[in-house]
Amino acid sequence: MPKLIKLPDLCGKLTPYTLTGKTPVRPKPGVKFNRIAYSAAHVVADPFGDIDPWIGCAIDWDATIAFRERLWSLGLGVAEAMDTAQRGMGLDWETSLELIKRSIEASKSHPGALVASGCGTDHLDLEQVKTVEEVINAYEVQMEAIERAGGRLIIMASRALTRVAKSPADYERVYDRILSQAKEPVILHWLGDMFDPALSGYWGSQDTGEATKTVLGIIEAHSSKVDGIKISLLDKNKEILARRGLPSKGGIDGKGVRMYTGDDFNYAELISGDGVGAALVNQRSDALLGIFDAIAPAASAALGELANGNLDEFHNILGPTVPLSRHIFKAPTRFYKTGVVFMAWLGGHQKHFCMVGGQQSTRSLTHFVELFKLADQANLIEDPDLAISRMQTLLRIHGLDS
């Protein structure tokens, strides 16, 4: 029997909405992907932490690690302590390192599980940073701590570097120092200013074409130390242009430096690339995506179909998730984490809708209503009764009895 819920329109008037009733896609067991796919995973806040949420940070470690175990069980890697986990936006370096250590330890119980961890400079006081050398030293502190824990590195974009760098040469100097001492090939991280306004002009230019030339030059000079680069500019043409310029040698397996798409608007077509299989790494993108946190079963199923050469089925599964992703990541894009956690709550992967920094308040009820509908239309509602019950709870909090 179709499930029904009353949802408010823009004027707050409740009108019936009938769920599609479609069974969510499940990944086929045992399929090996032909793309590397990381999900940038969120953290589960501890609602009982005796802290001031805007200032302190309390994590429910058991629920946080359980969510990562779910991702590994679906064949997805975990990009740990990234912006999806509210890194630098509620999650401080000390807590991030604890998260990284716990995630690496938990991964040992899952043979083949991938974990790569965010390494940045966010323990610095931005108001006090004056020199590029301070930025280098800060990166080295976090590199050493993560590598000592047995972790692989994602070199995150640095707000501090944006603040003190005067030219592309300063970026080249920093990354030359960092990459020359990395123990294993790293993933570089280019987060656009739509995600973090403090990163405007990264790589030394407001012109993304010039910035791309700079970062490709850095990668070319250190191709044996770069697994790939994650680009989050929400512009597929800029990503494709950069992808085609990546070295065909080097990388983690010597077969070329990978493009890890961070484009939460166009990921389906970027991952499929220039054709089924897309054997060369500069013909397609691998993935390091925040949206994979919210659509993990569909992402896993689609990647399995792609690996089996079923391109149409790949798009049939992943295509309906794109409107949901574009809604979650709509401007102001930096608030996307709220939609990701809302999806985890709707799906029963955490018991509450509380976030680090109180960020559950950054989106409107109207936003959540549309998100609920898009999740249904993308076949992502795993337990309709639970999702309806939790949506009704949210409506009551806003003064609506459905």
Across the range 238-263, mean pLDDT stands at: 93
Confidence at residue 55, expressed as pLDDT on a 0 to 100 scale = 87
Give the CATH H-level superfamily of domain 32-314.
Answer: Aldolase class I (3.20.20.70)
Buried/exposed 343-355: b ≥16 CB within 10 Å, e otherwise: bbbbbebbebbbb
Please write the tens of the pLDDT for every residue from 332-352: 999 999 999 999 999 999 999
Percentage of residues in the chain having pLDDT higher than 90? 90
Cβ atoms of 261 and 238 closer than 8 Å: no
pLDDT value at position 148?
A: 98
Q: Please state the domain extents for the chain.
A: 32-314
Mean pLDDT of 55-72: 96
Instruction: Answer whether 339's CB lies under 8 Å from 367's CB.
Output: yes
Q: Residue 254 has what pLDDT?
A: 87
Secondary element (H or E) of residue 218: helix 208-221
pLDDT band per the 50, 70, 90 thresholds, residue 10: confident
Where does the pLDDT of residue 65 fall: very low under 50, low under 70, confident under 90, or very high at 90 and above? very high
Predicted confidence band of residue 93 (pLDDT cuts 50, 70, 90): very high
On the question of pLDDT at 276 being above 70, the answer is no
| Average pLDDT, rounded, for the chain | 95
Q: Per-residue confidence at 1, pLDDT binned at 50, 70, 90? A: low
Residue range 281-291, pLDDT digits in tens: 778 999 999 99
Rounded Cα distance between 140 and 121, Å, is 9
Q: pTM for this one?
A: 0.96
Q: What is the pLDDT of residue 2?
A: 75
Which of 16-25, 177-186, 224-233, 293-302 has the least mean pLDDT?
A: 16-25
| pLDDT band at 277; cut points 50, 70, 90 | low
What pLDDT is recorded for position 127?
A: 95
pLDDT at site 31: 83
Number of Cβ within a 10 Å radius of residue 99: 24
Range with top average pLDDT, 48-57, 159-168, 246-255: 159-168
Where does the pLDDT of residue 5 fall: very low under 50, low under 70, confident under 90, or very high at 90 and above?
very high
Longest dimension (CA), the chain: 65
Q: Averaged over 250-256, what is the pLDDT?
A: 88
Other residues' Cβ atoms within 10 Å of the Cβ of residue 393: 12
Query: Can you say whether the dihedral through the CA atoms of 214, 220, 221, 225 is positive or negative?
Result: positive
